[in-house]
A and B are shown apart, each in its own frame.
Chain A
Amino acid sequence: MLEVNALSAGYYHELVLEDISLQLPQGSVLALIGPNGSGKTTLIRAISGVLPLRAGSVKVAGQDIYSLSPQQRARIIAVVPQARSIPPAFSAEEVVALGRTPHLNWLGKVNGKDMQIIEEALEKMDLLALRSRAVSELSGGEQQRLFLARALAQESPLLLLDEPTTHLDLQYQVSLMQRIHQLAHPAKEELAKGMQPKTVVVAIHDLNLVSRFADQVGLLVGGKLAALGKPEEVLNAGLLSGAYNLPLEVLKEHGYTLVIPAHTPAQNNS
């Protein structure tokens, strides 16, 4: 589904990402982890097609996304960005409706089918009751769901999310990640209704959410992919301690993998 081959990218004279290669099958969630500045956001932007590559390629369903028009690209890739500029005067419904943009012409006229898709996206993210609220009146968690709903309205097979759980409390972090997991792994009834499993790439800081909701984990360190594999392979005390420059312990509790800072004498003294 998603194929990244020997990708290098950066800004001005600085190379941020070097020689990244990864493959992701349809219906799976890839979590990108790594310390601040390791290149997670840059990788999301490069895969989304807005950051010209220095080398390598990004293919979605076999198509080189940098050879597509913005409209064609927006039909196969939807992005929930981290730094969002939100026009606060728009209503929630108007924001979700703008997710239909890649399927509309220059005039932006929506038809009955578009309306139905907008309705479903609002419903899936529990936003029906808030549809006529102005964006500025929504809480952080509601705004996250709103942008996810906008991405769903794009009906793209690939979803890219940049730190969707930042600024959310624990309850919303878990519920948002559950929703994201469900998009890649729809229930049987949804599959029967014709829903296609999404392929998801999500940059995320919370390693404990990663172990619970990701199918694959990519660990970025200094712009390079230091490890790529199943959560239990990558969430490894040695690998992570080196990457984060902090002694970490990995525990298995109730079938979950937990990553916590190791109990060190230095912390006891402080």
Chain B
Amino acid sequence: MRKKNTRSPFLVLALALAASALLSVAVGSVFIPLPTLWDVVTSALRGATSTLDVNGVYLKIISDLRLPRMLMLTMVGAALAGSGAAYQGLFRNPLADPFLIGVSSGAGLGAVLAMLARSPYTRGGLLSVPLAAFCGALLTVLIVTLLARVGKTVPTTNLILAGVAVSSFTSAVTSALMIHSTGELRRALVWLMGGAIMTGWSPILAVLPYMLIALAGLVLIGHPLNVLQFGEEQALQLGIRVQRARWITIALATLSTAAAVAFAGIIGFVGLVVPHIIRLLWGTDYRRLIPLSMLGGASLLLLTDVAARSLIAPQEIPVGIITALLGAPFFLWVLKLAKAQNYW
């Protein structure tokens, strides 16, 4: 089928990610041409000052703003797409996306509760926000699964309906909490729309341990997810400890979603769009699908962010708005496709 060459998709997507990363550092309210960017970075690495950047403005923009933002978006995009692919495999459902099944909103509520207790940029905030987001997300995924479950299967419509209901509820609670906290309203709204990407280096350091554990774990669970595609009973008959594999998948996918939401707000549809394109191009084997989705998700989010920063510059559009504008029609298309030809 479409599995002949297992190297080339990785190469293609790695190059795409490199290009997106460069673009993300170069483009913004101040455009830094690539030769200048190259010269500034290589000079800084040598400990010198670039002749093209005499007063050091470019270097400051790159090192203090663009580079940490680029790294954060890379991790967030990888986490959202990787967890989307994992949820799809877990629920055996093509429409599972951390946003659509309500996990993101649950993480959001957890994060907001923690933010109300502590400012997100203090050390206590940086440590407690992702943990609270993880608890909120885990609770949501359990509630949604319980609500959507019919016997041993989770039908698409039930999953989406339960996800919508639970995420409406948690979003409402989040909004109420945010309105209550005076003066923070605008920031809160931006955060809800997925425009609260934390910049600077300390959030990167804070999110790194969560991301490393969650992303590495997700890359390693491809094989049990493949076997789970035959259903619970056959997976057991093929020698998989089904419950354990399920719980590990839920924990890892939810941890990556929570980390992404805690540091970037609620960004929807990346986890739906990216794994789908990858699946159509390179097949369903989760051992490849998950890492490829991560590479693709990181590139997509970086490009979306470039668009978000340049479309109405110097104003910024929250990145979540653009992913929703792209993702919602895609979602409808997938829904139609999944119904017409059961290609899942």
Name 11 extra pairs, CB < 8 A, besides A87-B230, A89-B279. A49-B236, A70-B237, A70-B239, A74-B239, A81-B233, A84-B234, A98-B227, A98-B230, A108-B227, A134-B1, A136-B343
**How far, in Å, is A131 (CB) from chain B's closest CB?**
9
Question: Which 7 A-B pairs have CB atoms at the shortest separation, nearest pair first?
Answer: A108-B223, A74-B239, A102-B239, A87-B229, A71-B239, A89-B284, A85-B231
A94 with B240: in contact, given A85-B234, A87-B230, A108-B226 (CB under 8 Å)? no
**How far, in Å, is B259 (CB) from chain A's closest CB?**
23
Question: Does B118 reach chain A (CB closer than 8 Å)?
Answer: no
Partner of A85, one of B224, B230, B343: B230
> C-beta contact mask, B269-281 vs A, less than 8 Å → 1, else 0?
0000000000100
Partner of A89, one of B230, B241, B343: B343
Partner of A90, one of B220, B229, B236: B229
A48 and B233 alpha carbons, distance in the complex (Å) = 10
Residue of A nearest to B233 (CB): A50
A79 with B223: in contact, given A87-B230, A91-B3, A91-B283 (CB under 8 Å)? no
Question: Does A106 reach chain B (CB closer than 8 Å)?
Answer: yes
A45 and B234 alpha carbons, distance in the complex (Å) = 10
Q: Are B1 and A73 in contact (CB under 8 A)?
A: no
Question: Does A59 reach chain B (CB closer than 8 Å)?
Answer: no
What are 30 residue pairs bridging A and B, where the CB atoms are less than 8 Å apart in the complex?
A: A49-B237, A70-B241, A70-B242, A71-B240, A74-B239, A77-B237, A79-B234, A81-B234, A84-B234, A85-B229, A85-B231, A88-B342, A88-B344, A89-B344, A90-B284, A90-B285, A94-B226, A98-B226, A98-B227, A101-B227, A102-B239, A108-B223, A108-B224, A108-B227, A108-B287, A132-B1, A132-B3, A134-B1, A136-B342, A154-B238
Question: Does B222 reach chain A (CB closer than 8 Å)?
Answer: yes
**Prevailing SS type, chain B contact patch:** loop
Q: Please, which residues of chain A bring their CB within 8 A of the CB of B241? A: 69-71
Residue of A nearest to B231 (CB): A85
Partner of B285, one of A50, A84, A94: A94
Partner of B239, one of A75, A84, A132, A133: A75
Residue of A nearest to B89 (CB): A87
A70 with B230: in contact, given A89-B343, A108-B222, A136-B343 (CB under 8 Å)? no
A52 and B287 alpha carbons, distance in the complex (Å) = 32
Q: Are A91 and B1 in contact (CB under 8 A)?
A: yes
| B144-159 with Cβ < 8 A to chain A | none
A71 and B241 alpha carbons, distance in the complex (Å) = 8
Partner of A70, one of B92, B220, B240: B240
Question: Does A99 reach chain B (CB closer than 8 Å)?
Answer: yes
Looking at B222, B240, B287, the one whose CB has the most chain A CB atoms below 10 A away is B240
Q: Are A70 and B236 in contact (CB under 8 A)?
A: yes
Q: Are B1 and A133 in contact (CB under 8 A)?
A: yes
Question: Does A266 reach chain B (CB closer than 8 Å)?
Answer: no
| B129-162 with Cβ < 8 A to chain A | none
Question: Does A104 reach chain B (CB closer than 8 Å)?
Answer: yes
A203 and B220 alpha carbons, distance in the complex (Å) = 38
Q: Please, which residues of chain A bring their CB within 8 A of the CB of B239? A: 69-75, 101-102
